[in-house]
Chains A and B, each alone.
Chain A
Amino acid sequence: MADAFSRRTALTVGGGLLLGGCDKVASTRPAQRAFLGAESLTYRVNRLITPRDALAPEFTGADVSPIFRSNGTSRPGSPDYAQLLGNNFADWRLHVGGLVHRPLAISLNQLKALPQRTQITRHDCVEGWSAIGRWTGPVLAPILQFAGLSDAARYIVFHCYDDFGGTSYYESIDLVDAFHPQTILAWALNGQALPVQNGAPLRLRVERQLGYKQAKYLRGIEAVASLDQVGGGKGGYWEDVADYAWFAGI
């Protein structure tokens, strides 16, 4: 009865063993070390071969996606956020704190009065899709310089209003990206005030990394010396809950 053990069964059983094997290997300590080692190698090599201020490609108006879809949360559910939105963000403030000499609370109008940058860039979701949009907002670097980072500061953490089952979204970047000329806090998309689904009133644009780094619904910025005390210690919401890489340049 050779037919009973069909090619398909053989494939399924063989494949199943092999895959089960791969999945088992993935959870072992050496595999975890290898994965983290590869991520760290990618980050270091990237920083080594990419000039600090090398720009992400910018596009023309003709390249803009007809519809810029949202990712992650499309409307934060908290009463706090509903209240701010109801008042068109007049009471919203961006809090800048942590390892800074001068903590700040900046209103939307104050942010719009700072030197602005408009850039047409590509947003790449970790899932694989891309959308091109025109972003406008103040450059992050002068804000950080005005607040005055202490010498111990190594990372900038972004705290958000979107809520994932009781946890507010958070992300972090290193100082190379924080002081990059294209790193802006965008309040406009395609010439309009940022829509709620895209992160109103303010979102981060860190153009050399993937979508989950582009924190939406910003409430605060915090300078820290290490990521150990941030969330679960890996520097971002998805990094902590699902093992996404902290350096999302690839």
Chain B
Amino acid sequence: MDLSAADKTFPPYEFRVERGKIKEFADAIGDPNPIYRDPGATTSGVVAPPTFLRTFLHEPRTASEALKVKDWSYIVHGEQEFEYFAPVVAGDVLTANERIVSITEKESRRAGKLHIAVIETVFHNQRGEKVQVARRTLVETGQRIGD
């Protein structure tokens, strides 16, 4: 990883939260809760499951590319955190701003030298309200996953 990428920010990206996509996600985690399907089940409409927005972090590759990882088979997703400020509802248009919060180096007896990157994504809705913050931790290990 490129240690100098810490604190880099990236151009915002926008996406629409679709009702069908929420249902598909709820089905995939086996969650029968009607709040993910029936607009009348909550006062705000069809809401997104707690881990749903992780889905939209795969596409824009700008932040992960800035890490300049040589071989992604040495990278593990170590941790994922979400903070919730307001509901994310079907029909919302969200704007995501990504920043590499930190990249640290650590010595591990088991896996050799580790690089640990934390990428933070802040999501605002179409009314400018901050709805969620996601933080993912990527760990570059000395070994390929699966060894």
A and B together in one complex = no
